[in-house]
Structures are given as C-alpha cells and as structure tokens.
Amino acid sequence: MNFFLNIFKFLPPEYAHSISLNSLNFLYKLKLLSLFQIKKDDEVEFNLCGMNFKNKLGTAAGLDKNGDYIDALGELGFGFLEVGTVTPSPQSGNSKPRVFRNYEDNAIINRLGFNNKGIDYLLKNLKKRKYKGIVGVNIGANKTSKDDQRINDYLLCFEKIHEYADYITINISSPNTPDLRDLHNKENLKNLISSVENKSIEINFQKPIFLKISPDESDESIKMIIELVENSSFSGLVATNTTVNKDSITNEKLRNEEGGLSGQPLMEKSTNKISFIRSNTDMPIIGVGGVMSKNDFHTKIEAGANLVQIYTGFIIKGPKLINQIIRD
C-alpha cells in the first residue's frame, strides 16, 4: 500500500484521489478488501442521538462527495461515513488547479467549491448501498444561489435526501463558496435553522441534524451558534471545516493560495474549538480537522468530541491509519 501511496504523490491531486478511490472500489468488488479491513473481536457498539456506531471513527464530507464509494469505504472498518457536500444541481466547482498537497506539513489546501454531481445522483447511490453502518449526508448550496434561494437549496436537498440519510449535516462553513460563511451571522443562521426546522416538521424528519462550522469564528460567534443550536431541534455541531489561515504551514508559496487548509496544521485550531464548545455545552460534537494518528484521534475525544472524522489523514496515510486508530 505504501508503494501505491508513493506513486500517487506524483499524480495531480484530484486525479490521484479518483484513482485511489476507484482502486479501492475495484478491490471491494473483487472481495479483496479483507487485506485492509480491521475487525475487532471485542468491538462494542455505542449509541449517540439514537444511532448505533461500532466505533467512533468516520469519514469527513469531501472524501466521497457523490456516494460512489460507500460500500468500499464501509468495508474498511469505519464506524460511520459522511458523504457530500452535495448541492441541488450538479456543479463543476472552481477552476483548476484547485487542490495543493503539502507533504512536508501533512496538509492539503483546496478551493474545490462544492464540485459534485447533484442531489439526485447521490440519492441513487444511497438507495442502492449495501453498507449497513451509519451514513450521514452533508448538504450545501449551489454557488449561483443567493439569499433566500440559498436557503431553499438546503431545504431541497434536505427533503430529497431525508429518507435515506441516518443524519444530515448542514454545511455553512466551506470557505470556497462565496459568502457561504455569512450564514454564521446571527440573523442569517436563525433564518436557516428556522427554515430547516419547519421543513423537518413538514416531512416528519426525526433523525439527527448537525451544523458544520468554521474554525475561523471568534469565541463570541461560537457562543452565539451554540445558543441557537441548543434552542433548536438540531442535535449538535460538526467542528470544524478547513481554515483560511495558512500561517502555520512552512511552504511560503502555498501560504498565498486561496482555499481551505486541512491536515496536521489544522489539528490544534480545530481541537481548541472543540474544547471551547464542550466547555459551553453538552451537545453532541463530531470532531474533525487534522487527525493524522491514533494520538490525534484520542486528543479529539479528550477535548470533547463524541465522534471523530478523518479526510486528509486518510488521503496521506492511506488505510493503515484506520488500522492504527481502531485497533487496541
């Protein structure tokens, strides 16, 4: 596996991502994923928000945007998967190049811009999945949508996907869709939460709803978000998305690239946000950002995360990272 990871380093990032996941899918169809699958004889399920998990490790949104690899990723031993971010209409995202790998810092910068095949395509994949574990769906708004139409994008995705998602994450925190982070503002967020609540009542949706937030918000903003979520039917927070602050990376050229930074340089910042959230509330938290090792995983849990997701760590380290985290 290390041999293939080294080869992928020489390929363009998006191409390497596609090749690696398609290779994973190929091995799954050949029933060869047992070479990497992690099984624990003493595995004990636990419950969060009415959902049963076999372990606390999951995939973050962005890894499998369109749900093409649900069964293959599920076979690797993850306790849950989060697919998306998906938008109502297909969109190609921002112009290339838009993904930049920084192996010396174990980091990735991306400005993909919610590139995905649309909610209807994802829905087809969810309907035919064989994986029996928890699958959450991360939903967003199309780039061209503004104001009320942006809210309607979330509601459209919510309604279409609600029967086939074990939980839904409302993504307001990508830095790569213009003005999307404005939804962190109090009045905008109140409108979004209220609209989603009304839709959930209308369609009788009773599964968990999470809000994915930015690591770049102030403590005052985070407190406001916590208060709004606590006074709503939302279940908790996903903390956090990528950061626009790149001061922590060593490559000076990459510091000037637009987009969100993920990977090891995000670990401390995102974990500090988790700690701050936990010090102000007991709501469920899905922790994500910079997990590159088993120690990082446990640091997130100790900071207050109930569940932990990985993305960049999985891209850079490969399936062995799952093994290191899950096994005793």
Cα 297 to Cα 301: distance, rounded to the nearest angstrom: 7
Q: Which residue has the tokens 């998305």?
A: 241
Q: What angle do CA 274, 277, 279 make, to 5 degrees?
A: 110
* Contact call for residues 16 and 8 (beta carbons, < 8 A): yes
- Record the tokens describing residue 198, joined without a space: 């009304």
Which residues are CB-contacts of 144 (< 8 A; sequence separation ≥ 6)?
none
Which active-site residues does the annotation give? Answer: 174
Cα 185 to Cα 189: distance, rounded to the nearest angstrom: 6
